[in-house]
Structure 1
């Protein structure tokens, strides 16, 4: 079977790079649909417009309504058709970017991705995660290609709340843990084929950077400053984790995240925060060493990431809720079946309860 690795065509990262957006993407077309929520438009629209000031291009700005749902994708696709758009540009967080990628796919147009936070590994992937209008996980939309351009302005990332960077670290923590499990299982990643040595190497590099620079970067972003540690973590959260998960594979951690979306208690948490607890749960499911599990729990605790069910907001009716989570994590087609051993809802339930006990003991 072929070995396959996916990557965006071009990845650009640096402080102040949003002001160069027009220069980087003008070769893709002349009419651009910029999708962003109102909050993001408030601090990016003027810079984006100025970046096109010396070009004969048409910019259409459309407000993202908050959920990467089939309904929202259809609405924006209709606008793209009516406005005769050449290029889709997504600016903002993970759900905005996933929506932009889906709109571009259905419209058969190039897509440019501009993350304003480093809270997920969504930007670089050929994947959109679709949810219902109520925010419950719906399905993975596998796309035929990665974004044409990904541009990250690290000053904008540093201006965002540090909690978002921590959430991105939580998401990126799953990269090597899941890729390792997929590699051991000889599972097929979302990129297709078998897992390349390059994908595993990038996933491991991602993990090493997280543990080396994660705390330093978090503290710097609390002060809205860009340091080398911040640049490294943004690259790890965005590029290395994006390639690592897509070409290395997803396993239990993300399936458990998806399971948690079916209960209301966790809807206040960011994607990466739920994934972080999923990582610890996967390590328990694999019966990894106490030292390794404690290392992840300690690191997550320093970053304010959840390590107990109470941290997740689950304090009542724990057994029926976690049973529901475990059942959802084991639905047909879930990535939990990429684990190198059979997994049942009872196994997941036990691992979640055990992860909670270990987290409470550490704290």
Structure 2
């Protein structure tokens, strides 16, 4: 679990930071990487103070919806405290740290949707509120004893809690903020795809901590989750690559790494419930559908989801969550016997509705406090210099 936790933290810094940082224009690379790094610091402190307790302690009469306050500042947890004694038997400090890394990457993923056009002061306020109002309750609903988990919604490692959650929030942010200055007329090609390939590769490796680690034990199911993750990711990367090759006549580097991330996203909820053949199917479907959503659907509707946070994480998360209900194999996990498409649709719908409404409200609160976007001049100059006073030479 210590190793898995370190791997998941690596997914955000440096993984996601480099993945996103390489895909923006040069004048915004520092600001984009700074977002991932600052969110890591901010969420760590908030999780230690309030988040863990609200997500994973007993909320008493309100436990179906939110945890309690008894473990604020990790009060009462000792080196002898175990998470789920007799079931998981891992130190509670380790469990909190593991879950903290999930809480870190989820808001960091949202930043891909509004890359190159969000004020840094607004980012800090938005992410703090979003973590406590959106992420923490949904984590509790699914994994902390809340109503979605008890209803039988299956999410092994974060299809609803992480990916649908972040993807839908990203779409709301993109719609509320509007398009980047010059979108559709200015060249906004990635400035350094080598960074993005390195970032995607770190995400892929780190994801084994995400999915296999979510078994909370080194056993056969963790091994199945690990193999499923690898198979789905490779299948999705190839599916995206071939789809793009057929449509656009050339297989791009950006395409194959985006496909890999789509596979990682889609297999996340399914990884501990399906067999490797199921994971293979999940990967192929995710690669093709996420390609269409990120490339074709986005242009059809004209919204500016800068780095495809919704197109890959939102759509991929929905694909994985729904296919879990169809492909779950009781031979892999006994909990799969209770799987149904109806339960998964319920989980997906509740997540989308809560995330969309709460994110929308939070954005307008932040807008009233400090505003959301830099000035047109600051955006044209680049966020590196206007927000942070630094540039990459």
Higher helix fraction (1 or 2): 2
Name whichever structure is richer in strand by fraction: 1
Highest relative contact order (Cα 8 Å, sep 6+), 1 or 2? 2
Q: TM-score, normalised by structure 2?
A: 0.24
